[in-house]
Amino acid sequence: MAKVLITTVPFGSISRLPLEMLDNSGIKYLINPLNKKLTEDQLAEMVTDFDVIIAGTEPITEKVIKRASHLKLISRVGIGLDNVDLNAALNRGIKVSYTPNAPSKAVAELTLCHMLTLLRSVHLSNSQMHNGKWNRFLGKRIENVTLGIIGLGRIGTQLIKILKGFGETRILVNDLEYKSVLDQEFNLEWRNKEEIYKEADIVSLHLPLTHLTKNMIRKENLLTMKSNAMIINTSRGGIINEYDLYDVMNSGHLSGAAIDVFEKEPYNGPLKEIERCLLTAHMGSMSEDCRKNMEVESTKEAISFLKNNILKSEVPLEEYDLQKQCL
């Protein structure tokens, strides 16, 4: 009987459908018994006799893959692939699939939530009122600021669609590929990243973690931003150097930041000391519908694979090539 290891937690708590799908297919499964994000060593110990991993963001490294002697498929719950050693999997004939479309709306909405929170100082008001302080913060509306969006993939594009309802906001954008189709629907200003850092009141990042984006934003980039500017990262930890961000904000530069993703999770770093830095626990995809869809889609891929059917969302070869260039 085929065996599936479900490493991502929670799983099946919003809807039992993915678990029922596995049961109805006669597939034996184990849900991460530690009920937390696994370390490399913990996963390496656990993975030895499973055919499929339904995976979250835990590190599926070459070490883990070497221990997984029966592994044939990694079905990723989500879109990010920086935690999976794709080429180690390829070398051992292990397929990798993901759910690239499912998280887009939820992550875009959380990004908007962070924008509104920073602009109106909701996080600061909440913190101060819990400490007995009454301070009515003066803020700004989205329509009256300049937004800089770096990365126009699924999530960046979804964010622009949502922002259309807020009026004629000035939006500066940057992507590796110019997408003329977006200009037909939205009033966008294409800029290089350096221009966005200098001109935007809020910079929002929507990028994969690659050798090109690792530590892409460092102290020198942050210091080119307006002193009262804000930065948001709901994409991948490691794109903003967290220690540089701490140093810059601790010096008084930047009026706010919102970070949902971290280089090492769970996060326990110095940004916790900066009150005006809003921190959330990698919650971008954690809406009920999004989580359910990701779990169902990744489970469908696992079942389909074990029934010798073609994967619908196999990771494309260009992602493997990108990783070969090394983070």
Q: What is the mean pLDDT of the chain?
A: 96
Report pLDDT for 322.
84
Domain that holds residue 49: 3-102+286-324
Report pLDDT for 324.
82
CATH of the domain at 302: 3.40.50.720
| Tokens matching residue 71 | 């592994």
278-293-39 Cα angle (round to 5): 60
pLDDT at 30 over 70: yes
pLDDT digits (tens, 9 = 90+) for 4-27: 999 999 999 999 999 999 999 999
Known catalytic residue: 130?
no
Q: Are residues 57 and 167 in the same domain?
A: no
Known catalytic residue: 236?
yes
Q: Which residues of 242-267 are buried (b: 16+ CB within 10 A; e: fewer)?
A: bebbbebbeeebbbbbbbbbbbeeeb
Q: Are residues 226 and 310 in the same domain?
A: no
User: Out of 123, 206, 282, 291, which one is annotated catalytic?
Assistant: 282
Q: Are residues 127 and 84 in the same domain?
A: no
Q: Are residues 61 and 34 in the same domain?
A: yes
Q: Are residues 228 and 241 in the same domain?
A: yes
Known catalytic residue: 265?
yes
Q: Are residues 185 and 96 in the same domain?
A: no
pLDDT digits (tens, 9 = 90+) for 160-169: 999 999 999 9
Query: 214: helix, coil or strand?
Result: coil
Domain tally, the chain: 2
Examine residue 18 and say whether the peptide bond preceding it is cis (omega within 30 degrees of 0).
no
- The DSSP element (H or E) to which 75 belongs, if any, is strand 73-76
Query: 304: helix, coil or strand?
Result: helix
Q: Are residues 116 and 245 in the same domain?
A: yes
Question: Contact, 281 vs 36, CB < 8 A?
Answer: no
Report pLDDT for 185.
93
Q: Are residues 260 and 318 in the same domain?
A: no
pLDDT at 302 over 80: yes
Stretch 294-322: mean pLDDT? 96
Q: Are residues 172 and 115 in the same domain?
A: yes
User: Out of 20, 194, 220, 265, which one is annotated catalytic?
Assistant: 265
Q: Are residues 239 and 249 in the same domain?
A: yes
Q: Are residues 72 and 160 in the same domain?
A: no
Q: Are residues 39 and 108 in the same domain?
A: no
User: Out of 236, 291, 297, 301, which one is annotated catalytic?
Assistant: 236
pLDDT band at 326 (very low <50, low <70, confident <90, very high): low
